[in-house]
Structures are given as structure tokens and as C-alpha cells.
Amino acid sequence: MLWSGWGDPAEAADLPEPVAKLLREVLGVRPPASPAGSWEEVRLPVTALPPEALTELTGVVGEGYVCSGDEDRVRHTRGKSTPDLMRMRAGDGSDAPDAVVLPGSHEEVLRVLRVCAAHRVAVVPFGGGTSVVGGLTPRREGFTGVVALDLARLNRLVSVDTESMIAELEPGLRAPQAEELLAAHGLTLGHFPQSFEYATLGGFAAARSSGQASAGYGRFDDMVAGMTVATPRGTLDLGRAPKSAAGPDLRQVILGSEGAFGVITSLRLRVRPVPQVRVYEGWRFESFAAGSAALRKLAQDGPVPTVLRLSDETETMIGLAKPAELGELGGMASGAGCLVVAGYEGAAEEVPARRERAAAVLAGLGGTFLGTGPGQAWAHGRYAAPYLRDSLLAAGATVETLETAGFWADLPRLYDAVRLALHGALGSPLVMCHISHVYGTGASLYFTVVTAQSEDPIAQWEAAKRAANEAIVAAGGTISHHHGVGRDHRGPYAAEIGELGVEILRGIKERLDPEGILNPGVLIP
């Protein structure tokens, strides 16, 4: 992972000329006053970790698995939000951990937590480092140091139960590794978020991730049949049946907890057979409202495609649904409405019939079939957008995403409220939106915002994000559908769950983590 951007540096691409022209002429984007700093220019704080804590941690995990070199610290600093990247490009490494600790087992995680609790050392559970909501930036005040607990050594496929269709995997597995291991057994999770290439299974669970094929496979939290969790107080082993009436489901306490309550050390996940057929296609609708109605019909009455997403007029015009063809108007004429991508995965004998029935619904509600070209182009470029963001930042544009979800009846108001808030905060930005996760009762809205960088682009975006968050809360949406809470959403999250809800979270935190060492400042309002 590039230390100051996203992904493999070899995959970086120059902006297409139509996009560069749009930035200059429409948004007034100009090259930044100074280029991004080099690795050598990153300013790191002096390590504060107590020597005795360092010695004890080394005794737990062994020589070579407690790392305090500059490169290790930089690569475990913050996540990958636009403000995170801007700070790194400016050489600001002030949030770097004092050391990186790599445990090799559940028992070692437990012992590391005990050592850190005894010495008042804050612990940041670290998977792929892909958080975009400040989920890897702990509060330092009141602690003697900070360590990143990197779970990369917990990377095994432990077992496969093909009768129950459950696989036990360790949390440090990156998604491509997990898929490769499962494919050897003819299985898949079917979880393919935009962060797929770098994110880990533990991170998916801790943030309630939702993949691009969620319409067919469900969200990641739907896949979790059981888990083992290490806490400063001991071990939680959760989930022993498909469903249970034995009290509240404590798995839900850990799912979405972002490492604030415990460290997931094993996951028992529902798996599916690797699909025999994958086909993706495009449809055109006259408006976002018409496309939304079609998606709602499929979500409520079926048949539901495996992948189902709708770009609004602006996103369709720019072609953001197909990053590899950005600037080519999404393969449709200018102003030609909204693009729907529908994908079908499954058995060879099942997919054609489901595709035919869904096509009848889409056509009956005004959709125009565009063939498989747009769908295949989306599938080819589905992980390319974060690379595009790096290119836009280098060109002098601020580009960031935010997301929410609401009930179908509330979506139009939610859509308008967020757009108005962003325009009010930024002047005349480019605001694009798509629906990419659908349910019988509602759907998500995912916004991408592009504007010219101000003299203080971090403050510029933070003001816009506050305005958007306030609009989401006022319009009745959730503050996050799949990015999580982190530090960035704590205030709106408190408003969403209310004072009593905040008290409950604090009570759980106090019981599982009495010293408050786990990801302090993250999630809990």
C-alpha cells in the first residue's frame, strides 16, 4: 500500500484529458502550490513507549514482531480518508504509533492487551489500514504510548464445514487471500467492497462492511456465524447456532465496534459455492427517481440481481461508474439519464431465468437495455476509484466520499438535503451520487464530491463534512451505512442513538476495557 495514497503505485494513472479540462474550466482547479512531500520529509513524534512495556511486549510476541522503525510507524499512521492523505502528503506524521506489534495467536493478543492495560498503553487494532472515517487515529491524552496491533500474522483458513457451509478464518487475512484459500474448496464469501484488494476480514467485521454484491450475498455482518474475541478482561466466544433465542445476540456488540471493545481473533463465516456464471449489464433510465423506483421494485418483489446499482445524472454523465472510461460520458450521450448496472452470479441453470425476469421488470418500468458493455466495464474498473482520487489530489482538487442510508420514502429528501448542504459549504462543487446497496425497506446513498482545493483544504472538507452530517441527521438518515463511525462521525452518531444509547456503549466499554486502552477516542461519543 502506498504510504501517501492508495494501493500499488504501479497502478496509478494520469487523469484523462476530458477530466483535466473539466477540473480547470468548470471547477477552477489549479495545481497545488507545493508538491507532495517525500518519505524522508515525514515528521514523526519521538517514541514515548515505556521501555519496560517494550520489553514485555517483545517477550510476548518475540523478537522481530515489535517494530519501531520509521517505515513501520508511517505505514500504520491513520487510514485512507482524503484528510488522512493530505496530512501525509504534507509530511504530518504526528499520529504515528510508537511501535507496531504483530501477535501470532489469540493467546498472544490476550497477553499483549494485558501488558498494555498494565502500562496504560493505547492499542489500535490494525488490519488493512483502509478506514476513511478516522478509525485508526486514537486519542493519546492520558496514555503512556500508542501501539498498532497488526493482525497480519493471523492469516489462516482454519477449517471448512461444507455440510453447514461455514468456514473459520483468521482476521488478518486480506480479502484476496481469503478468496484464494476458499476457492480451493470451490467456495467464496462473495464480499467485494471497493477496498477489497487491501482490507482484511477482521476489518470487514469491525466496521460492518458492505460489498458491491451485497444485493446477492448480503453485508459482511450477515455472513458472521460466530467469532472469537480477545478483550482486556478475557475471551468472548460467540455464536453456536444459526439463530438463537438465548438473550440478546452479543455478536452484534462486536460487529461494528471498530476495535473499541475487543480484538477479533477468529471468524466463522457463511460461505457460498463459487458462481459458475457471472454476467453484468447496463440499463438506462430517464431520471434518478425513475431508476430508484425500478430498484425498489426489484428489492421488494424480486428477482434481486446479485449486483444492483444506480448512478444519478451527474455520476452517469461523468462516467464515474466506469473509472476506466472516465470522461467518456458513461458510454451514453450527454444528458442521457441514469445508468443502472445489474449483475447476476450463480449456477449456470439459474442465472438466465433470474436475469430474464429482472429484465422484464426493468423494461416494464421504463428501462432501456444497453447490453453487457456498461456492466462489464464497471466490473473491470470496480476497484479503480481510489487510484483516481490520488490523481485528482495531485492535480489540486479535493475529492472525497460520504455515504448514508434511509428508507425508500425518505431517500428523495435525504438525497436533496445532502446535496444542498455540500453546495452550501463548498460553493459550486461537483456532487455525484449512486445507490449501490438495496433492501426491501430502503437503500444506501453514496456521494462523491469534487471541488477546487482552498488554501486550507483539510478545513475546507471538514466544514463540508459537518454540514453534510447535520443534513443526514436532520433528514432521518443513518450517519453511516458501511464506512463506520471512527472519530469523524462520533457527534452525529450520538445524536442518532440518543443519550441513553451513548450510556449503554460507555457501559460496555467500561466492562470489557476498564482501562480504556482499545482505540480510545474512536466510536464512543
CA 151 to chain centroid, in Å, comes to: 18
506 is in an annotated binding site: no
131 is in an annotated binding site: yes
314 is in an annotated binding site: no
127 is in an annotated binding site: yes
129 is in an annotated binding site: yes
Give me the residues paired with residue 343 across strands: 280, 307
Residues 6+ apart with CB under 8 A from 508: 253, 261
178 is in an annotated binding site: no
Active site residue 446: yes
Q: What CA–CA distance (Å, rounded) separates 139 from 520?
A: 5
143 is in an annotated binding site: no
Sheet holding 224-231, edge to edge: 157-161, 166-169, 263-270, 224-231, 234-238
Cell 468472548, located at residue? 236
Task: Go through the chain and tell me how many residues it has.
Answer: 525
179 is in an annotated binding site: no
Q: What CA–CA distance (Å, rounded) separates 404 from 433?
A: 11
The radius of gyration computed from the CA coordinates of the chain, to the nearest angstrom, equals 23
- For the chain, give percent helix, strand, coil, nearest 5: 40, 20, 40
496 is in an annotated binding site: no
Residues 6+ apart with CB under 8 A from 254: 205, 206, 227, 229, 236, 238, 261, 262, 264
Cell 487491501, located at residue? 198
130 is in an annotated binding site: yes
Which cell goes with 327? 470522461
263 is in an annotated binding site: yes
Per residue, the 3-state secondary structure of 80-135, as one string, reads: CCHHHHHHHHCCECCCCCCEEECCCCHHHHHHHHHHHHHHCEEEEEECCCCCCCCC
What does the DSSP 8-state code read for residue 210? -
Which cell goes with 481? 451505512
331 is in an annotated binding site: no
442 is in an annotated binding site: no
State which amino acid sits at residue 131: S
259 is in an annotated binding site: yes
CB hemisphere CA count around 178 (13 angstroms): 31
Q: What CA–CA distance (Å, rounded) separates 214 from 218?
A: 4
From 217, 280, 344, 446, the catalytic residue: 446
CB hemisphere CA count around 266 (13 angstroms): 20
Q: What CA–CA distance (Å, rounded) separates 161 from 139?
A: 41
Residue 250 burial (C-beta neighbours within 10 Å; 0-12, 13-18, 19+): middle
Q: What CA–CA distance (Å, rounded) separates 6 from 387?
A: 6
43 is in an annotated binding site: no
Q: Which residue, 207, 69, 209, is CA-closest to 148?
A: 69
CA 437 to chain centroid, in Å, comes to: 13
Catalytic residues: 446
Q: What residues are designated binding site for FAD?
A: 125-131, 258-264
Residues annotated as binding site?
A: 125-131, 258-264, 389
Binding-site residue ranges for substrate: 389
